[in-house]
Each structure stands twice: as structure tokens, then as C-alpha cells.
Structure 1
Amino acid sequence: MASSRSVDPAELRAAISAVSSWLRGEGPDPARSELAAAVRLSLRTLAADAPGRSVEVRVPPFAAVQCVEGPRHTRGTPPNVVETDARTWLELATGLLDWTTAVESARVSASGSRADLAYWLPVVRL
């Protein structure tokens, strides 16, 4: 679920900047704490941009948020789930990868009629 705190754009940009060379395939793997910060802040930004509880977006092991307006999910497995790894999520969040390509190449698992984040991505540009 989205945090009640708003995301500081400068904090988000700093977190993304810390992993940007790795995302572009030009640098070493980031520290786990840097990767976690970039994932969490970008997911919180998505949740703030697309408020709601009809879609659960999961990026294990770092974070999950509920977003997108629609029927609220409260118990059990949500009917609309998006799940991916940290690198794929950050490529989507920064516009380095488009939604359709990610889904068609099975880098993203998206189930449910509302599990389409194309409209909301990217959340920040590199």
C-alpha cells in the first residue's frame, strides 16, 4: 500500500541516479541498499500518481504497493497483480523499457483486467 508520506522528487532522482549506470549496462551492480531505495521510492511514486487499491505491484524482495483506482482488494490474492524483478521495474519506471515489450518478453507477470501500468509509466526519466 502507498505510504502516507509524499515522495520528495529530489530524493527519487538521487536514488535513481545511484543505479542509473547499472540500468544502462555501463556500471557495476549497485549496493543492495541503493537498489532497495530506488525500487521503494519509484513504487511509492507510482502509488501517489495512480492512487487506488485495485492493482498490487510487487517487486520482491524490496516492496509492494497497491495502486490504480477501481474495486478495492482487501483479502487473499488480489485479482490484479503485477510482479517483476528490481531491474525490470526500474527500467520500466525510468522509461528504459516499455510496458508492452516487458509483458511480451515475460519480464513482467501481469494478471487481471486492470493490471496494465502503461498509462502510468515511466514515473521518472533518466
Structure 2
Amino acid sequence: MARKRIDEAAGLAAAQQWAAGASDRNTVATAVRYTLQALADRVPGKSVEVRVPPYGAVQCIEGPGHTRGTPPNVIETDADTWLRLATGALGWEAARASGAVLASGGRANLDAVLPVLRLR
């Protein structure tokens, strides 16, 4: 069953509220899910799984996919780090170097596709 898409206006509003300091669960969840959706739209595929527990996960980037078990290319981070990456407030290499992003597998790199959303 396909997941319901986050409406663009609602997703942008949530991301802007998060950027302005909102930290309530609903706002963060909507912003994370919207930016994950934007990532999957931008680089569709099934070779890398991006996880932001407990809010969501998407598969993206073309290449060899997987159907069962843990995928060979996984990226996992917390909501704040993901939103900072997704909006360009934090660079991929800096996030990796700080340990805020766990990435395994040869294709688990989002440097070329981030940010997915620029906030004013």
C-alpha cells in the first residue's frame, strides 16, 4: 500500500515552522516526511534507504535494489540532523564527520543530491 503523500503547502509550512524553532512532534514529523518525499522524488530508485526514526524512511537512487531484509546501502540519522541536511543548513561531509549520520554501503552518499529544499 502506498503511503499518502504530504501536500506541498503543508510540507513547506512545516519545514518553515521547524526552521523558525518549532519542535512539536507533528511539525517535525510532517517536515521530515515531506523532505524525505522530496528526496525520493528527486532521485527515485531503490538502491539506498534513508531512515529518520521514528518519522519515516524512503528508498531512493537508481541502482541495484533489494526486496527483503536490510538493504546493502543504508543512511540513518535523527530528525534535526536530517532537516538540517535537507534544507542546506548542514553539509553532508560535516554531518558524516561529526557522527550524526550513519551510512553503510558504497552507494550511501547524499552529497550530490542535498539539499532537497531551500528555505527563505
State the TM-score, normalized to the length of structure 1.
0.87
Aligned to 1:109: 102
Identity percentage of aligned residues: 57
Partner Cα distance (1:49, 1:12) in 2: 15
Match for residue 62 of structure 1 among 55, 59, 63 = 55
Per-residue Cα deviation, 1:19-60 (whole angstroms, up to 9, x for no partner): 1122xxxxxx52100100000010011001010000000000
Tell me the residue number matched to 1:20: 19
Q: Secondary structure at the match of 1:13?
A: helix
CA contact 1:95–1:125 (8 Å) conserved in 2: yes
CA distance in 1, matches of 2:47, 2:33: 19
1:79 and 2:78 are equivalent in the alignment: no
Aligned to 1:25: none
SS at match of 2:66: coil
Q: Deviations over 1:41-91 (max 9, x none)?
A: 100110010100000000000000000000011111110000000000000
Aligned residues: 118
Superposition pairs for residues 34-53 of structure 1, below 5 Å?
Answer: 34-53=27-46
Q: Measure, in 1, the Cα distance between the counterparts of 2:3 and 2:113.
A: 18
Query: Alpha-carbon deviation of 1:3?
Result: 4.8
Which of 94, 111, 116 is the equivalent residue of 1:118?
A: 111
- Offset from partner CA, 1:78-110 (integer Å, 9 cap, x none): 100000000000000000000000001100001
Unpaired runs of 5+ residues, structure 2, are: none
How large is the Cα RMSD of the aligned pairs?
1.6
